[in-house]
Amino acid sequence: MAMSGTSGSIEVVCGPMFSGKTEELIRRLKRAQIARQKVQIFKPAIDNRYHDTEVVSHSSLSISAMPVNTSIEILQKVFDSTRVVGIDEVQFFDDNISLVVEKLARRGIRVILSGLDQDFMGKPFGPMANLLAIADQVDKIQAICTVCGAAASKTFRKNPKHTEQVLVGETDLYEARCRAHADFFGEDDDQLAFFVNFNESRSKTQNL
Ligand SMILES: [Zn+2]
């Protein structure tokens, strides 16, 4: 039950791998704990890279988290007294995650999400496009391009033979890249078809 005078909110911290998203999530959650607000943290059960019940960042900051298999499980597990809900690796959740976080915010809860905005092809990752749209606040943070040292907003998969969207790994599989150094695959079929049509219609107009 929301107390009068309090309103919920949805914050998203997104960016490529190695950008410090999880550190930022943990920083916000620890500040809420210092303010004596009841905090609960969830993560998808798929992400067991470091430790089963902890959210651990690359810089080894950690905070206890509850692994869940579906987004609806989060609703079932949030206590009435909880004021802040953190969700890490939110890109791995099903599309219902948007409904779940809006429900929590309506209950007066501050919801803080952390996740990859783009997959290794530079496309919106799972439910992220929706979450970014419904959020009250979005922080898109950048890593450093491993090739040129510029700001990096892309996650580059080193072995292009793996084409599935979800392939959990670390520096063995991925590195952060700037836009120029992530354009490994070129334009995909949809993009090529779009620009073929565009070029045809442009040459027709120009021949009038
Ligand atoms: Zn670069």
Over the stretch 42-95, which tens digit does the pLDDT of each residue have?
A: 999 976 565 566 666 666 566 789 999 999 999 999 999 999 999 999 999 999
The CATH architecture to which 9-141 belongs is 3-Layer(aba) Sandwich (3.40)
pLDDT of residue 80: 95
CB 151, CB 142: distance < 8 Å: yes
Is 54 an active-site residue? no
Give the Å distance between the CA of 169 and the centre of ligand 1.
21
Q: Exactly one of 11, 24, 89, 175 is catalytic; which is it?
A: 89
pTM given for the model: 0.85
pLDDT tier at 203 (50, 70, 90 boundaries)?
Answer: confident
CB 139, CB 12: distance < 8 Å: yes
Sign of CA dihedral 57, 63, 139, 186: positive
Give the Å distance between the CA of 87 and the centre of ligand 1.
30
CB 83, CB 39: distance < 8 Å: yes
Pairing state between β 110-116 and 84-87: parallel
Q: pLDDT tens digits for 133-152?
A: 999 999 999 999 999 999 99
